[in-house]
Amino acid sequence: MAMTLKSELFSRFGKIEENMLISQATLLDPRFKKFTFSNKNNCHAAVSFLKAKAQSIIIEPEVLISKHTATTLSSTINSSSALWKEFDETAVNLIGGSNSSAAGIIEVDKYLNEPLISRTENPLVWWAERKKVYPRLYELVKRRLCIMATSVPCERIFSKAGQVISKKRSRLSTSKISQILFINHNI
């Protein structure tokens, strides 16, 4: 029985690390990152794919720097001496500047080098606090960490819908059925 269970688990979940959506969701979860991968090649492929995704995201300048800060920064740079001009250009290049490709890679590397958070902490709260630090990754997090772990909630709603819609209730409108299911689910 144990061997059958093991083979069935492997047949269903053996190649789960090769699924890029699940791999990205795992990497973007600050509780796990790349430490949950059993195969280093799959981890490397997922990190490369995540970097490519981060490079493709273009962030508006208002998201990176507020308008007030940008105005203050530009007036400061204009009034600074030629000595600081070279330093400012170097600093902009180090953080990625307007180059989306470099900024995406830097964000991913910086994020992956941060320590893991406790397994009991909420990763969505962690990301909400750091959305200004990792704006490109935050956009990916909104797309990847919304993946449902199970289909049980929707199965329950379908089951309840089967109980609500019957021959005696065949004249209910779709909006009424929706309201009944909403109330029933949220009680």
- Total-model pTM: 0.59
For the residues 115-127, what does the mean pLDDT come to? 91
What pLDDT is recorded for position 87?
A: 67
Mean pLDDT over 151-176 rounds to 85
What confidence tens digit (pLDDT) does each residue in 19-72 have? 888 888 888 999 999 888 888 998 899 999 999 988 888 876 544 444 444 444
Kindly give, in sequence order, each residue whose CB lies less than 8 Å from that of residue 29, ignoring residues fewer than 6 positions away. 123, 145
Q: In this predicted model, what pLDDT tens digit does every residue of 148-161 receive, in sequence order?
A: 667 787 788 888 88
